[in-house]
Structure 1
Amino acid sequence: MLMTAIFLFIIALCFGLGLLVTVLSDRPTSKPVILIHGGAALVGLLIIIVYMLKGHFQPLLIASIILFVIAALGGLTLFSFDWRAKPIPKALAVLHPLLAFTAFLLLVIYILP
């Protein structure tokens, strides 16, 4: 179950890196890439939330989920800027993947024996 989430987060990470480069170079973003990135991350997040709700309430997993949720809220904010054709705040465009990657590392550490 968690390996599926890891796989989805890796997909989101790959597409997200492309989006970050696009945003930082002031080029228009690809809507299909945004949807794949957000969709993969959302499904991965839902999987780890369901896993936690099945009785796995370890602090490292909870911290990972909290950071993923904060990153997701940042991602929704970035999406709303892009959807309305407003300039995307570069600081948020950098903070979003930093939070998500930290959450990803916590999840990987949680999974490792």
Structure 2
Amino acid sequence: MLNYVLITFGIAAVGGLVLAASVLRDKLASWALSVVHALLGAIGLVLLITMLLQGSAPQQVLIGFVLLLVAALGGFFLASFHLRHKIPPKAVVIVHAGVAVAGFLTLLSLAL
């Protein structure tokens, strides 16, 4: 199941790069891409919860989950700007991406 998690978050990350590039260029990001990015993130979190509930997941799965959950909370904050048709603070975008990458790399360390 870890492979599915990594693929899901990997695809979400590509979308996140496109979204972040828009914001860093002072442009409002694509709403459709934002929704797909959020859905993929939610699917990845549900898969991680499933792994954790099975009881045999290594501690890195929990650490990766917590980091990605924090990133998701940051994503909700970013979405609130999008709903108001405002460009979010660049620093928040960078922190959101950094925490998400840290969570992804934590999970990826299990696969390598």
Q: CA deviation at 1:58?
A: 2.6
Give, in angstroms, the shift of residue 57 of structure 1: 4.4
1:83 and 2:83 matched: yes
Q: Name the Cα RMSD after superposition.
A: 1.1
Spell out structure 1 runs of 4+ moving beyond 4 A. none
Q: Give the aligned residue type for 2:49.
A: I
TM-superposed deviation, 1:49: 1.1
* Aligned twin of 1:28: 28
* 1:56 positional shift: 2.5
Amino acid at match of 1:74: G
**2:62 aligned residue:** 62
In the alignment, structure 1 segments of 5+ residues that lack a partner are none
Contact kept in structure 1, 2:28 and 2:87, CA below 8 Å = no
Structure 1 residue aligned with 2:104? 104
- The AA in structure 2 aligned to 1:102 is A
Corresponding residue of 2:73: 73
TM-aligned CA deviation for residue 89 of structure 1:
1.1
1:29 is paired with a residue whose SS is: coil
- Give me the TM-score of the superposition, normalised by structure 1: 0.93
Aligned to 1:9: 9
Amino acid at match of 1:35: V
Q: How many residues align?
A: 112
The answer to whether the 8 Å contact 2:51/2:57 transfers is no
Distance 2:83 2:56 in 1: 37
Q: Could you list the per-position Cα deviations for residues 46-66 of structure 1 after superposition, in whole angstroms to 9, with x for gaps in the alignment? A: 101111110134321111010
Q: Could you tell me the percent identity over the aligned residues?
A: 34
Q: Confirm or deny: 8 A CA contact 2:22 2:29 kept in the other structure.
A: yes
Distance 1:38 1:76 in 2: 9
Unaligned runs of 5+ in 2: none
Q: Deviations over 1:30-72 (max 9, x none)?
A: 1110011111111011101111110134321111010000000
Relative to the length of structure 2, the TM-score reads: 0.94
Structure 2 letter corresponding to 1:26: D
